[in-house]
Amino acid sequence: MQLAEANYAQLEHTKSQLRAIIDASQEAMLFLSPDGRPLKVNMRFTDFFGLDDTTVLSQSADQLAALLKGLFVDAPLLDRPLTWDTTDQEHIFREQQVQVGPERREFDFASLPVMNVDQTYIGRLYVWHDVTHEREIDRMKSGFVSMVSHELRTPLTSIKGYVDLILTDETVGELTGLQREFLGIVRNNARRLMSLVNDLLDLSHMESGKIELHCKPLDITLLIRELLPSFQPGLDEKRQTFTLHLPEKASKVLGDADRVTQILSNLPSNAHKYDLSVEIAEPVAHVEVNDSGIGLSTEEQAKLFTPFYRAHNPAAEAVGGTGLGLVITRSLVEMQGGEIQVSSEPGQGSTFGFTLPLAHVLDPSTFPQETLLGKRILVVDDDTDTRHLLRSYLQGAGYEVMTAPNAMTTFQLARTARPDLITLDMLLPNTADLPILELLKSDAITASIPVILLTVVNNDGQRRLLGATDYLDKPIEASDLLQRITTVFADLTQSLILLVAPSSKRHELLISALREVGHRVTFVPDGRKLLALVKRAHPGLIILDATVPPMGGLALLQALRADPATYNLPIIMNGIQPGELGMHWQTLTPIGYVDIWGNPSHVKAIVQVITQRLQTGTSASDPQITIM
């Protein structure tokens, strides 16, 4: 008995210690069960969000989801049902969140799966790390650097400009050798200071996300040839040589010409001899600069892309520089969809290389320009080369392109950036049975975005039922992809039909038949999802099945007619047999315009009715009931 009491006391002491440690944490924490119920919160959570633990722990999963959503200005991860998170036993999700209210705290948020000692999944831990102070310091730093840089550029421009005039303009008088030497020193140091100011400004803009790129197809070999004369004065001054190895055939890449020029200008530094080569290897162009310089040790290469880092070598230090050039170069390369590499050995020189995606430029007459002006497409594929290739196809055709490598990034980008279309790799890792497509089509914000599946497995029935607009088999041809996208955007000018019904083969056939005659259809399998979607999607017609879960079609119909925002939407009611009309008459009579048919077997008849309703545009302002 005494042993049991001692063990119990020890257990309670351990639990108390753990609780004290968790409460002392600087992060707010919330632990959820696998079914989304709150189990534990720490003291920091209650302090940050002004909630007592009793209130939080008494919430159901749905209540807690609404509570959390109301705490933040924009938090896509919390806009979803909690069970979408808590049933995931593998992935860690992260995003930045801003708290509602005057304090507007900024948080780094993470959602992590929690495993027991025997690796049994026991729930999810939500963690909020307050980064308000750090973000404010970053903004102050960026603002200060930007202000100082702009203030310095004006006098530096004057200093450099007038020194150049004195050195080159004969009207100012003849200079002695000593005067020319002194002015040369002033000019060189003005250039170095201007370079430092420009680098600081670029770095500040990159950190604050203010760098804007204007990517378009450009001939990389022509750009390099045009750039070489600007290198020549510096090469002559340092007695350096520069050899080009360029392909004979013109090679178009996708990039910002000014930023590619900046990248190329940053790579040559302190060697006596350079070789610059361009090699085309689909889907990218490889650009390499080989030098005969001092080389770099393994330790120096590891630090090469650290801001303000300079190699500890007398030869390198004598050349000068800010230590920012390669940091900026890497950022510019990656922002344009490329990668940068370096290989070097001490005393053997160095090779700096970078890639840029190739541009596949098609004949502009093959697609109508008015359909793509300002259109933004999200390309989703876990394979880097495929993402680069698809981006080059689409940017070459004039579209704005974003990319995502996984399902979670896709969902976040789709909600925040609102692309006009998504191309989706059907076989993303850990996304069996198309859950990301299901997720996109069940969310009120993303449901109306058309999705084209790129697949090696044709499951046409499933993709139609889940709401994919079209699909293409891999490997993808540029002309096929652009033709499908052009067709999708042309179809978007038509009214959207929402089919609200439980999943069934009959509804799959109806969707297929409607799309075959050119209608745009989104399948909605749940009444609650319809209520969340309908005000954002602006459908031209709703087909409502009487058996749709969870509340049934009649209750859903009443809810739509009771809301002024959806009162006048044309609705076709399906699934009420003519013989059942009497028992529902009082429900239907005051609702307004609604068509009713009793599950006719001939799909073509339904398609004809739907087409007629869309053409006539009849609304609830003409209350009547039609029985088919």
Residue 186 near residue 195, CB atoms below 8 Å: no
Instruction: Name the pairing type of β-strands 252-255 and 350-357.
Output: unpaired
Mean pLDDT (whole number) for 49-77: 84
Cβ neighbours, 10 Å, residue 166? 16
Nearest 10 degrees: CA dihedral of 171, 177, 182, 186?
50
Instruction: Name the pairing type of β-strands 284-291 and 121-130.
Output: unpaired
| DSSP conformation class of 176 | P
Residue 138 near residue 204, CB atoms below 8 Å: no
Mean pLDDT (whole number) for 589-616: 59
Q: At residue 432, does pLDDT exceed 50?
A: no
Amino acid identity of residue 461, one-letter, is G
Q: At residue 206, does pLDDT exceed 80?
A: no
Interacting residues of 245 by C-beta distance below 8 A, sequence separation 6+: 275, 276, 277, 278
Give phi and psi for 513, each to the nearest 5.
Answer: -65, -40
Interacting residues of 179 by C-beta distance below 8 A, sequence separation 6+: none
Residue 432 near residue 401, CB atoms below 8 Å: no
Average pLDDT in the chain: 75
Residue 592: what pLDDT?
47
pLDDT in tens, 185-194: 888 888 778 7
pLDDT above 70 coverage of the chain, percent? 72
pLDDT in tens, 92-110: 888 888 888 777 889 999 8
Give the Cα separation of 504 and 467 in Å (integer). Answer: 14
Residue 497 near residue 519, CB atoms below 8 Å: yes
Residue 431: what pLDDT?
46
Residue 483 near residue 452, CB atoms below 8 Å: no
Residue 223: what pLDDT?
84
pLDDT in tens, 158-182: 788 888 878 877 777 888 889 888 9
Give phi and psi for 385, each to the nearest 5.
Answer: -65, -40
Place of tokens 């989801």: 65
> Which of 237-241, 324-328, 415-419 shows the lowest per-residue confidence on average (mean pLDDT)?
237-241
Residue 615: what pLDDT?
60
Please, what's the largest Cα pairwise distance for the chain?
110
| Position with higher pLDDT, 471 vs 27 | 27
Residue 462: what pLDDT?
46
Nearest 10 degrees: CA dihedral of 130, 131, 132, 134?
150
| DSSP conformation class of 425 | E
Residue 31: what pLDDT?
93
pTM reported for the whole predicted model:
0.44
